[in-house]
Amino acid sequence: MTNRFLGFGLGLRAPHFEQIIAEKPAVDWFEIISENYFVAGGKPWHYLNKIRSDYPIVMHGVSMSIGSTDAINKDYLNQLKNTIQRVEPQWVSDHLCFTQVGGINSHDLLPMPYTTEALDHLANKISQVQDYLGREMIFENVSSYLTYNDSQMSEWEFLAQLHKQTGCKFLMDVNNVYVSARNHDFNAMDYLSAIPSKAIAQIHLAGHQDFGTHIIDTHDEDVPDAVWDLYAQYAKTLNPVSTMIERDDNLGSLDDLIIELEHAKTLVKPFWGI
């Protein structure tokens, strides 16, 4: 199910609701932030119900904290499960990270240490979550600005092993790979090539802020040339994968985002035959 090619999508954001409903733009699907719909009704659901009658929807969470050593938050999972039942998404994703430490939410996507202990921990957590939800999930790689002294392997080796151990699939954020590669001085294609192509269920493209000595994943800029180039190079190694532009701040116009989306199609058309 999660390897179904939906085409090219956008993150669904409130400032664009009215235009999407009125104009029904040439976007193949939309991705919603799961937690935005943990409410009984109101405007979020009013608009979503109209939009999902015309477009496939996928759900993307930011608060599961799958990597945390804290116990799984059953209240959160119950809200997520209820929302899944209402939305009927094509698939559901969250981040391969932790956000909570000792019951305190950092409100940031903190990277895992890449150890065998963390692998076993994640495998167990993923199994628990998927059993509770009654469905498969996919998990996104996060950008990072630090490394752990205790790590026993690279991030890409960790992801490849996690897939081998659990069969889980990934939402590959190409911008996040580029950000981490620049910050930690590794080859981005070494990372991407190490993950089995069958494990890639979705792709995110986004922008960042470049400070020269380091870059910060902000998702508030146009997709830069270096990320476009990496995406095009990566696409040569893949069968068609559902791809979207993710913009979380400084949204700009829907028309401008669609232009970026059309550029993504143009880049991969020679390889994917679409």
Q: So where are the chain's domains? A: 8-272
- Of 1-10, 158-167, 169-178, 264-273, the range with the lowest mean pLDDT is 1-10
What average pLDDT does range 258-270 have in this prediction?
96
Q: Is the pLDDT of residue 1 over 60?
A: no
pLDDT in tens, 54-73: 999 999 999 898 888 888 88
- CATH code that applies to domain 8-272: 3.20.20.150
Q: Is the pLDDT of residue 103 over 70?
A: no
What average pLDDT does range 14-25 have in this prediction?
96
pLDDT band, very low/low/confident/very high, at 199 (cuts 50, 70, 90): very high
pLDDT in tens, 125-167: 999 999 999 999 999 999 888 888 888 999 999 999 999 999 9
Q: Are 274 and 240 in contact (CB under 8 A)?
A: yes
Q: What is the pLDDT of residue 212?
A: 84
Q: What is the pLDDT of residue 17?
A: 96
Q: Are 264 and 245 in contact (CB under 8 A)?
A: yes
End-to-end distance of the chain based on CA atoms, in angstroms?
Answer: 20
What average pLDDT does range 38-64 have in this prediction?
94
CA distance 214 to 216: 7
Q: Are 33 and 67 in contact (CB under 8 A)?
A: no
> For 34-43, which contacts have Cβ atoms below 8 Å and span 24 or more sequence positions?
34/59, 34/60, 34/61, 34/62, 34/80, 34/83, 34/92, 34/94, 35/61, 35/62, 35/63, 37/83, 37/86, 37/87, 38/79, 38/80, 38/83, 43/14
- The mean of the pLDDT values for the chain is 92
- Of 151, 209, 149, the closest CA to residue 182 belongs to 209
Q: Is the pLDDT of residue 251 over 60?
A: yes
pTM: 0.93
Q: Kind of pairing, strands 98-101 and 104-110? A: antiparallel
